[in-house]
Structure 1
Amino acid sequence: MTTQLRSTLAGLLLAAAVLAATVAVTRHDTTDPSGVAVPVRVGPYAALGDSYTSGPRIPVQTGRPEGCARSDHNYPAQVAAGLDLKPGDFRDVSCSGATVDDLTGAQSTKKGTNPSQLSAVSRSTRLVTLGIGGNDIGFSDMITRCVAMGTAYKVLDRAKDMSSHGSPCRESYTDNGVDATEQRIAGLETKLTSALRDIRRRAPEARVYVVGYPAILPAGDANCGRRLPLAPGDIAYLRAKEDQLNKTLEEQAVSTGATYVDTYEASRGHDACAAESTRWIEPVVPSNPAAAVHPNARGQRGMAKEVLRAIRATE
């Protein structure tokens, strides 16, 4: 082999290596008027959110602080892998228990303090996902309370030997026709708008995706039995509250120029009352590694698929 040929081959190999490294953090958009493909950076990527993002109890738990309960198989990690991002181009600062206020302020957990999540967003950030809002309206507490009421209600129902169609939990959240949860959801709108505008200010070139919550409860008044012992009327009530929350997330995303990612439709039939082998959400007593009434590994994969679909649709 001649010296010139060796030099040519070395040059080609170097060019291929550079191209591979570039592809790992770019996609191509044909919006240039000349018709020439323009490289669009997809990293660095900052993942923000609560426990539905962090993936508590899903192996392997990783990151700091430990109290945030992040999994290396949550949907942000799978999105980063799907985009071929390098470790340095991906920061997951999601944290179990997070509210919108924790985006701009430090969050204390039982095992350490998580810095403000927006500290991970800078002018170099090119991709942001945000999944938050459930803790702001107290949804986890609602389910816990409704399960306790549903269990007591069904015991009483069996004692009376009658069919139950009541909604004791809904009644507890409603006073003189005013639904306390609806008020919390309404109060969330301003906070979300402010947070999304802050993200845009910090990362003006980033594409921002607001990730909705997957289906936690089944359609209709299906009886979940021991998996999620709720009064039939409260299943419909809680499902309606989740729907309102998701609509609020979508509206605020659109109003601030972000993209809403619907994970609800894809998760229909994979709720906490579905079979162990197909559900995305674990019931009160999980049988797959995950926190109660939270996405399991299958659910995180499904959510990642929807986020990637949305990202690729807007490239």
Structure 2
Amino acid sequence: MRRSRITAYVASLLLAVGGALTGAAAAQASPTAAVTGYVALGDSYSSGVGADSYISSSGDCLRSTKSYPYLWAAAHSPSSFAFTACSGARTGDVLANQLAPLNSSTGLVSISIGGNDAGFADVMTTCVLQSDSGCLSRIATAKAYVDSTLPGQLDTVYSTISAKAPAAHVVVLGYPRFYKLGATCLGLSDTKRAAINGAADYLDSAIAKRAADHGFTFGDVRTTFTGHELCSGSAWLHSLNLLNITESYHPTAAGHSGGYLPVFTGAA
């Protein structure tokens, strides 16, 4: 009789533990399980500029079927997929033009934004055309903007996303470092390359902090792009291309499939 009671107790304990573990697993799986609709927001690093295979109906937004949002949607078949990311977008453009698909049934949102607000294109133009000191001065101006103005702009975008899609799991994607340092490479000086990489780190840190403060997940692509920067011999980024200036310093198709997609998939 005593053994029977012990056996029953052990069985009930194991059942309780099993139930708790099952509940924990279900809780951990909830972000993926909750995904009904997926909305991809952001700038050119999300629309897929540089990856080619552009969707004709996307016009100047240059949305690509080889971009990480499109690849993720093709692999996971969400119940709906709205792709509003657009080349050249700033935070104000996201607010004005990209948020219409968000609603209470949106389960997943991805976004990369902030680089254009901080003057990414002008930084690269200045560093290509001017001296080391001119490049460093322009980067210092960009960093000052990241400190003083960008956090508030990101807060507005992130708060609006949460208000419009309160059930969504939001993944904020960062930007890669551009150059492999210490390698023999034609073009910019080592001083400029190091400064540009430092600026990318500075921007990513600011974006990651704002994302965390809003309860969003930050996807750090610097890890996956390591070894595939410009001057690495296996670059996943376009260098300066005077024949197609828009694609300059943007991820290639391999950068989306090998650099951005794994990070997003892991975070989603």
TM-score (norm 1): 0.71
> What is the one-letter code of the residue matched to 1:50?
D
Distance 1:101 1:56 in 2: 19
From 69, 76, 88, give the equivalent of 1:83: 76
SS at match of 1:91: strand
| Aligned twin of 1:250 | 208
Gaps of at least 5 residues in structure 1 are 1-28, 106-115, 151-166
- Structure 2 unpaired stretches of 5+: 1-20
Q: Counterpart in 2 of 1:104?
A: 95
Letter in 2 for 1:307: F
Hey, what's the Cα distance between the residues in 2 that align with 1:203 and 1:171?
A: 40
CA distance in 2, matches of 1:182, 1:31: 45
Q: Which residue of 1 aligns with 2:85?
A: 94
Q: Quickly say closer, same or farther: Cα 1:41–1:287, change in 2 above 3 A.
A: farther
Q: Size of the alignment, in residue pairs?
A: 243
Cα distance, 1:284 vs structure 2: 0.9
Aligned equivalent of 1:216, options 175, 178, 202: 178
Q: Does 1:169 pair with 2:134?
A: yes
CA contact (8 A) 1:215 1:265 kept: no
Q: What SS does structure 1 have at the residue aligned with 2:247?
A: coil
1:15 equivalent in structure 2: none
Q: How far is the alpha carbon of 1:305 from its aligned partner?
A: 1.2
- Shift in Å at residue 215 of structure 1? 2.3
Alignment partners' CA distance in 2, 1:82 and 1:305 = 12
Match of 2:161 in 1: 199
Corresponding residue SS for 1:233 = helix
- Give deviations 1:110-145, integer Å, cap 9, x for gaps: xxxxxx111121111110001111101111221122
Shift of 1:42: 1.5
Question: Counterparts of 1:287 and 1:224 in 2: how far apart (Å)?
Answer: 21
For 1:94 and 1:76, locate their aligned partners in 2 and report how far apart those are by CA, in whole Å.
9
Q: Tell whether the 8 Å contact from 1:125 to 1:205 is kept in structure 2 after alignment.
A: yes
- Specify which structure has the bigger relative contact order, considering alpha-carbon pairs within 8 angstroms and separated by 6 or more residues: 2
Superposed, 1:140-289 pairs within 5 Å as 140-149=121-130, 167-173=132-138, 179-186=140-147, 187-219=149-181, 221-225=182-186, 229-275=187-233, 278-285=234-241
Q: Distance in 1 between matches of 2:257 and 2:240?
A: 21
| Matched position secondary structure for 1:224 | coil
1:299 matched to 2:233? The reply is no
Give distance in 1, aligned partners of 2:136 and 2:201.
19
Question: Secondary structure, in 3 states, of the residue corresponding to 2:123?
Answer: helix
- Listed one character per residue, the Cα deviations across residues 255-311 of structure 1 (whole Å, up to 9, x for unaligned) are 000000010111011012222xx31111113999x8111100000002111100122
Of the three residues 46, 61, 67, the one matched with 1:53 is 46
Instruction: Quickly say closer, same or farther: Cα 1:301–1:34, change in 2 above 3 A.
Output: closer
**Structure 1 pair 32/266, CA: closer, same or farther in 2 (3 Å)?**
closer
**1:149 Cα shift?**
2.0
Structure with a larger share of its residues in helix: 2
Measure, in 1, the Cα distance between the counterparts of 2:212 and 2:169. 13
Contact 1:149–1:230 (CA under 8 A) maintained in structure 2: no
Match of 2:34, as an amino acid? R
Taking a change above 3 Å as real, the CA distance of residues 146 and 259 of structure 1, as seen in their structure-2 partners, is same
Q: Say what the alpha-carbon RMSD is for the aligned residues.
A: 2.6
Asked if structure 1 preserves the Cα contact closer than 8 Å seen for 2:50 and 2:253, the reply is no
What is the CA distance between 1:57 and its match in structure 2? 4.6
**Pick from 109, 134, 143: which aligns with 1:128?**
109
Deviations 1:182-230 (A, max 9, x none): 11112111111121111111111100000011221223x54430xxx21
* More strand per residue: 1
How many percent identity over aligned positions?
31
